[in-house]
Amino acid sequence: MSESIFNLTWLIPLPPLLAFFAIILFTNRNKRLSSNVAIGAVSVSWILSWLVAITFFTNPELVKKPFNLMVPWLPTGTTTFSMGVAVDAVTAGMLFMVGFVLTMIFIYSSGYMTFPGHLDPALNTDGLDPRYSRFFAYISLFATGMLGLVVANNLLMLFIFWEIMGLCSYLLIGFWYEKKYPDPKQITPKEAGLKAFLTTRVGDVLLMVGMIFLYIFAGDLNFQVIFSGDTLQHIAAMTVNLPLFGETSWAVLISMLIFFGAIGKSAQFPLHVWLPDAMEGPTPVSALIHAATMVSAGVYLIVRMSPIFMAASHGHNGAMTFVAFIGAFTALFAATIAVAQNDIKRVLAYSTISQLGYMFAALGIGAWVAAIFHLLIHAFFKGLLFLGSGSVIHGVEHGHHHAHEQGHDEGYFDAQDMLNMGGLLKRMPRTGWTFILGGAALSGFPLITAGFWSKDEILSDAWANGHSLVFWTLAAAALLTAFYTFRQIFLTFFGKPRTEAAAHAPESVPSMTVPLMLLAVFAVVGGWIGIPEHFPGLGTILNNPLGRLMGGQAQVYGLHYEVLDFHLFPVVASMTVALGGIFLAWLVYGRRPLKTGEPDPLQVWLGPVHTVLRNKYYVDEFYHATVVRFARWFADMCYAFDSRWFIDPIVNGVGRIGRWFAGALRRFIDEPVIDGAVNGLGLVTQAAGSVVRLLQTGQAQNYLLVLLLTVLVLLAMVQFV
């Protein structure tokens, strides 16, 4: 029975792909039909995903023998490269999360992609975005990319769907490409899309190089082949001399190249700069990128490739240490920036960067199961928060439009600036309460929320295995996370409205709020399946099914997994930083809510430090002054080399020589010889024709006379002969 159900796995990415083609080819003119096609298709994928995932979860014996379906695809000399799908514990967990979150985002999008009427009436006659159908086509292709990546059984197929998501990120971040801002320094959607595409390409190129090396050594990219003991031992034993790094194993080099691909896709330092600017796209796109697809793919890649990272304990050579360092540093680095942001979506963007750092730090210290657990739980509450922020923005935009109609002209208005909000909990209760639940999960509110259990697993593993630096770095990041999350909540939903737009903001439509409520359920109870078995009371009841499944999968791949002994200190520390951050946010923003025109207290207290944090440590400016300027200079040099110094002069010189040679041939060979012969033949023909023409008079008597004379001559010749 399970085998027949798993045979449906290859169908999971197909419905959104068919929806993409159906929308662009047939239903594009009918906006509502296009959205219904997209929602229906992703719902089919969701049902198939849950069918496969639940079948796997209810058959624990499948952990030891994962499903693998391969189809011959490309002849490669003496072998054939196969494509196919695979289902193991990691795949099942991702399918459970991705299918559901994608469906919620699609349903939400049908309500979000409407406008309050401030667009050109000629383009907004039905209240929907002018490119409404195109949007649903793009997100359908995006969903295809993530679902295909999850079920892929080999690295090449994974990379193909990985690049499909890269294309969709460019198309969707720059979806409103015509949008401009009064501030010329503010990045536009068109520029943000290009920035995301180019930045992630840096990591993708390195990932492709790592794949090529891996194929050279393994002869295949199928996960079962490259994770085999022979392959892992081979790449761990073979060494290469690298400049500056000396002799190291190929396993380390391949791992680092693969990790740089994940750094780009998951926006880790130093390739994190694209993700905050990706907020220029529609909010459902932000939820897709931050929760269900895109950045999750980077963590998923490292989870999937963990046996390569752990090959023959090569982590002692620095690869695993590097992963842990980048993850922990990024977690704290992004959290410090988030505390100084006023854009409701940018706060969440830096939060995502920070939380992904948590996951990479967990992978770096070998906490494989904890990283997967946090990846899955994070998708639920971060999807909830992004969709909630979109609901807030949508309501404030409607409120601004209403205030404008009532004669309250607030000039240029930023509907994403939290300082322009306040008091929205009364105006938007469903959005507000679900957002608070999502914020509590992100903050790791003790015992109740899912985020506490997934974060606690990482902190507990770091503490139990002696990774003190990682533990304290992540604990500091958790404190800041709780602070900036509830700063966001207090600024947005509490106090009194600070603008007329906030005072008139309506609650969003059910197609937007129902997905919020469903996601809120998972943001609270989703983490309970990971409660440790040794946790007093609760663990005994729930018996940690996630740990059993993922732990068994870890053993199949030869990864280290152990049930940690209960340590009170990391649990107390996790509770302390979560509650401490929330309490600090209440002291600053909740006890005495901000009033209209009042500056941010944090800005007053921190002064220049706040300026540095607000400007993101000037990393973008540094890149513009160095990398971008160098790239432009190098492009100018290449252009000059091409057009003025070398290439064009040579090409033009060859062209001039060719023209001179052609002229010489024309003057000395073509005209006197070729043309002369042709013209001479024509003159001879013309002269012969002139003589013959005398015989062609057209008079019958002349022809008879010639005939008679000819007969007489012939008779005379016969007579004399």
Measured CA to CA, the distance from residue 392 to residue 501 in angstroms comes to 11
CB 214 within 8 A of CB 221: yes
Measured CA to CA, the distance from residue 201 to residue 527 in angstroms comes to 34
Measured CA to CA, the distance from residue 24 to residue 133 in angstroms comes to 8
The pair phi, psi for residue 399, each rounded to 5°, is: -65, -40
Residue environment code for 631-667, b if the CB has 16+ CB neighbours within 10 A, otherwise e:
eeeeeeeeeeeeeeeeeeeeeeeeeeeeeeeeeeeee
| Site of tokens 């667009």 | 119
Q: Which pLDDT tens digit goes with each residue over 408-459?
A: 665 667 889 999 999 999 999 999 999 999 999 999 999 888 889 888 889 9
What does the pLDDT average to over 478-500? 94
Give the list of residues 6+ apart from residue 197 with CB closer than 8 angstroms, or none. Answer: 166, 167, 169, 170
Among the ranges given (34-43, 110-119, 145-154, 557-566), the one the predictor scored with the smallest mean pLDDT: 557-566
pLDDT tier for residue 596 given thresholds of 50, 70 and 90 = confident
Q: Which pLDDT tens digit goes with each residue over 212-238?
A: 999 998 888 998 888 888 888 888 888
Q: Which pLDDT tens digit goes with each residue over 264-320?
A: 999 999 999 999 999 998 999 988 888 777 888 999 999 888 888 877 455 455 788
Measured CA to CA, the distance from residue 714 to residue 569 in angstroms comes to 137
Residue 542 pLDDT greater than 70, yes or no: no
Residue 571 pLDDT greater than 90, yes or no: no
Among the ranges given (58-72, 107-121, 127-141, 675-689), the one the predictor scored with the smallest mean pLDDT: 107-121
CB 266 within 8 A of CB 204: no
Let me know the angle formed at the C-alpha of 455 by 484 and 450, rounded to the nearest 5 degrees.
85
Bridge partners (DSSP) listed for residue 239: 249
Strands 239-242 and 79-87: unpaired
CB 494 within 8 A of CB 590: yes
Measured CA to CA, the distance from residue 11 to residue 16 in angstroms comes to 10
Q: Where are the beta strands (DSSP E) in 521-647?
A: none
Burial of 552 (0-12, 13-18, 19+ CB in 10 A): middle
Cis peptide leading into 270, omega within 30 of 0? yes
pLDDT tier for residue 711 given thresholds of 50, 70 and 90 = confident
Residue 231: its pLDDT value, please? 84
Instruction: Enter the tokens of residue 436.
Output: 């608070």
Of residues 678 and 63, more confidence is placed in 678
Measured CA to CA, the distance from residue 441 to residue 459 in angstroms comes to 16
Let me know the angle formed at the C-alpha of 397 by 395 and 398, rounded to the nearest 5 degrees.
65
Measured CA to CA, the distance from residue 122 to residue 165 in angstroms comes to 33
Residue 700 pLDDT greater than 90, yes or no: no
Average pLDDT, the chain: 87
Measured CA to CA, the distance from residue 532 to residue 551 in angstroms comes to 12
What does the pLDDT average to over 70-91? 87
Q: CA-CA distances (angstroms) from residue 413 to 173, 400, 427, 502, 603? A: 21, 8, 19, 11, 21
Length of the chain: 721
Among the ranges given (423-432, 615-624, 646-655), the one the predictor scored with the smallest mean pLDDT: 646-655
CB 417 within 8 A of CB 498: no
| pTM of the predicted protein model | 0.88
Let me know the angle formed at the C-alpha of 694 by 689 and 699, rounded to the nearest 5 degrees.
130
Instruction: Enter the tokens of residue 469.
Output: 């630096």
Instruction: Enter the tokens of residue 379.
Output: 């998708």
Residue 1 pLDDT greater than 60, yes or no: no
Measured CA to CA, the distance from residue 520 to residue 153 in angstroms comes to 32
Q: Is 74 helix (H, G, I), strand (E, B) or coil?
A: strand
